[in-house]
Amino acid sequence: MGMRFAAGGGREGWTRTALTAVGVALGVAVLLIGASVPTLMNAWHGREKARENLGQLHEPPRGDTTVRYASADTVFHGERIRGRLVRPDGAHPPVPPGMDRLPGPGEMRVSPALKELLAEPGSALLRQRLPYKVTGVIGDAGLQGPAELTYVAGGTTLRPPDAYRIDHFGRSWTPRPLTPQGTLLVIMTCVALLTPVTVFIGTSARFGNDQRERRLAALRLLGSDIATTRRVAAGEALFGSALGLAGGTALFLAARQTAGAITLWDINVFPADIRPGPLPAALIAVLVPAVSVLVTLFAQRGVTVDPLGVVRRRPAPRRRLWWRLLPPVLGAALLVPLLRRQGWDDTAANTTELAVGSMLLLLGVTALLPWLVEAVVCRLHGGPVPWQLAIRRLQLAGGAATRAVSGITVAVAGAIAIHMLFTGMQFGFAEAYARSGALPRLGYTAQADSWRQTERALSAVRATPGVTDARGVIEATADTLPGSDSFPNLAIGSCAELRRVAALDSCRDGDVFVAQGRDTKTVRPGGALDLNPAFSPEDRATPQPWTIPADARQVRLRHTGQGPDDHRYDVLATPSTVDVRRLGMGDMALRVGFDRSVPDAVERIRTALALVTPAVYESSAVDNPHDRAYSGVRNGLFAAATVTLLLIGAGLIISTVEQLHERRRILSSLHAFGVRRSAMSWSVLWQTAVPVLLGLALAVGCGLLLGALLLRMIHAEVRVDWPVVAGMTGIGGGVILFVTALSLPPLWRMMRPEGLRTE
């Protein structure tokens, strides 16, 4: 019978059911997206594993089914581009997913996003950096997401040490775990999103509660008992939540089609990846209707539905404060001990403690708000007529408005806390990058095959517009013979380059130098070194002994310690004294200074080096990848909080219109006695403004407290994102005006003289 009332209750019944369904649908859509995160990440990591091979412990011998493989990643205007170079050894090499064959020499397969980027007018330097002919597009199976920038090119000169040999694609590896800050952020994002959703679903189930109670009174008049009326109310709520469940599923399916356009923390996925697991989906399908029914039955506890009407307990008992303080106090009690620990430790106990404590703190705001509104309005007396009308109405029946506003408090408090955590983390990264990037300098490393290659790279960089300084050596790590716990560092370079590293009185090709103040016990003239050391027992490294000449002179390094110009070399050697091919770990190390005022100076340097050796790694503070990642998430959270506030505003409109409908005879009487429309309009404004402003004040306080606790957990400086706080408060004010404006037409209609008629 309750479902029949919900489905066939006329325009008002359909409106009430639709509002409940819309509210539940939005909550269900968010829950389904949250339940899809594990599946999404499994698919994302799975495609990366399937297309990659990070090198095998024991390199396979050359054969018909092997291929030379190298990494050639690059960055273009802050966008990271994944690159891989391949050169097959035979006619049947392994092929990565998303491709039917490997590209030939001078060819490349690109992702659709990279193909679009290459075609843009401002990508001339990128086209020059990737001088390959595009022969095809990589399929979805070979991409982590539709927006990924990646390519696979056929190399012409791939050889050790630039590349290693593999015989298959698909490598088992464990993704790098999140940092403590990242783990904390993920946990809090889940709490801040799911807690308001739970509150909002419960609030949505009570849309139209006053009209439902009047219908139940009519059923009592027809002879139904109290148990029957409660079953009818449960059936009506169940119908609305079932519609919301179906609508939320449809909304989820529609929303996930936009997944390809969203990138968070460099994670971009296909729409098909966003699907909840069977168990979470089943729990959502069961728990959401159950919550709606339980909330409806809970709302009936203070109402007696008699045959002659709806009687609420009067006088209303004062709300008790002690039990409302329990959730925030317990939440704080769980969070405060985490501050005393040395950094965040990602354990199950800590994760549970953080999630439960944060949720209790946020839910405590919901519990405190009704008491706060009642405590404030009971002490307000006097004032203009509109103010008195609004305050008196809140004193008599402020529960509906408070319930709707409770969603605002949870959403705003969670958003402020997350924004504070984002701001603190982002500021830390920005400060670190600012310190590192104070000097306009870039660092590059690539595996070296000869000193001539390093000279070519230096010449190419020095000829690039915007370069102010370039220096470079070949760095290598050796072992002492007989072996010891120390691994001396070698620097191989021309005399001109070595003079930049150490103070040399004289130098010519064939000289070797030993650094003063370093490991003089194991590294000394006449000592023996192994140029191909084994760093672990599993390494099958063939020893490459080399003797430091007995006439090697001791020299003083120009810079020691830590910093961009500092060196920790034990031995300095000119190119003719060491065969670079014997080095097990020999890297070309360049330091390049540039002029910030020259347009695209950094991109030109990257292009010049890529043309010499594509497999080059850059270490610099030019591009801060965290800025874009954090800014995107911060903007997304702000947008989500804005939408939540607007939705709760819609709930406020419903409760306000219901109260106006219930008081239509009183409104008509007041108008007949001369009360102006403007006075009644202002009363609606104040009736909405008081609970919203109190809720926002409580939310800001709770959000700032929770955000400060989170920042102290990661030992970060407490910083408040005041623009976000002001923005949230401003949106709250906009919600007040929005609710008032949409409530005025029903108010004016109910003030007509026809409202005095009775039957």
pLDDT for 475-499, tens place per residue? Answer: 998 888 776 667 888 999 999 999 9
Q: Which residues are paired to 593 by β-bridges?
A: 441, 469
Q: Which of 446-460, 617-631, 705-719 has the highest mean pLDDT?
A: 446-460
Give the torsion sign (CA, 334, 337, 343, 349). negative
Query: Which of the given ranges, 576-580, 640-644, 688-692, has the highest pLDDT on average?
Result: 576-580
Least confident of 115-129, 287-301, 589-603: 287-301
User: How crowded is residue 326: how many other Cβ atoms within 10 Å of its Cβ?
Assistant: 12
**pLDDT band at residue 323 under the 50/70/90 scheme:** confident
Q: What is the pLDDT of residue 608?
A: 94
Do 7 and 235 form a contact (C-beta atoms < 8 A)? no
pLDDT attached to residue 215: 65
pLDDT: which is higher, 49 or 312: 49
What is the rounded distance in angstroms from the CA atom of residue 691 to the CA atom of residue 181?
A: 35
> In which region does residue 223 sit, left (phi positive, over 0), alpha (psi from -120 to 50) or beta (all else)?
left
Rounded-to-integer distance, Cα 205 and Cα 288, Å: 10
- Over 60: is that where the pLDDT of 434 sits? no
* Better-predicted residue by pLDDT, 145 or 625: 145
Comparison of pLDDT for 279 and 626, the residue scoring more: 279
Residue-wise pLDDT tens digits, 235-262: 777 887 888 899 989 999 998 888 887 7
For residue 315, pLDDT over 50 is answered with no
Give pLDDT, residue 631.
66
The span from the CA of 549 to the CA of 543, in Å, is 19
* pLDDT, position 558: 82
Give the residue with greater pLDDT, 27 vs 478. Answer: 478
The 10s digit of each residue's pLDDT in 260-295 is 877 776 788 899 999 998 988 998 899 888 887 887
Mean pLDDT of 634-653: 70
In this structure, what token pair is assigned to residue 156?
């012409």
Top-confidence range, 194-198, 301-305, 708-712: 708-712
728 has pLDDT over 50: yes
pLDDT for residue 191 is more than 50: yes
In this predicted model, what pLDDT tens digit does every residue of 335-352 receive, in sequence order? 888 877 766 565 667 777
For the chain, the first-to-last Cα distance in angstroms comes to: 27
Kindly give, in sequence order, each residue whose CB lies less than 8 Å from that of residue 319, ignoring residues fewer than 6 positions away: 370, 371, 374
Q: Judge whether residue 308 has pLDDT over 50.
A: yes
Which pLDDT belongs to residue 313? 45
pLDDT score of 306: 59
Determine the average pLDDT of the residues in 510-530: 82
Give me the amino acid identity at 208.
G
C-alpha to C-alpha distances, 476 to 470, 490, 620, 662, 756, nearest whole angstrom: 20, 5, 21, 84, 95
- What's the whole-number mean pLDDT along residues 556-582? 79
**pLDDT value of position 126:** 94
Tell me the β-bridge partners of 154: 86, 105
What pLDDT is recorded for position 627? 61
User: Phi and psi dihedrals of 76, rounded to 5?
Assistant: -135, 110
Instruction: Summarize pLDDT for 216-241 with one digit per residue, the tens.
Output: 666 666 666 667 777 777 777 788 78
> Would you say residue 391 has pLDDT above 70?
yes
pLDDT score of 374 more than 70: yes
pLDDT at 523 over 70: yes
Helix (H) or strand (E) holding 87: strand 79-88
Q: What's the pLDDT score for residue 127?
A: 94
**Of 452-461, 614-623, 717-726, 746-755, which has the strongest mean pLDDT?**
452-461
> Would you give the DSSP letter of residue 537?
T
pLDDT value of position 113: 94
Q: Which residues pair with 133 in a beta bridge?
A: 107
Which structure tokens are listed for 11? 């325009």
Residue 25 pLDDT greater than 60, yes or no: yes
With a cut of 60, say whether residue 128 has pLDDT above it: yes
Contacts of 668 (CB under 8 A, 6+ apart): 750, 751, 752, 753, 754, 755, 756
Cite the beta strand spans of 150-243 per DSSP E.
150-154, 164-166
Beta partners for residue 480, in sequence order? 529
Region 705-732 average pLDDT:
81
Q: Is the pLDDT of residue 86 over 80?
A: yes
Tokens of 614: 């594509």
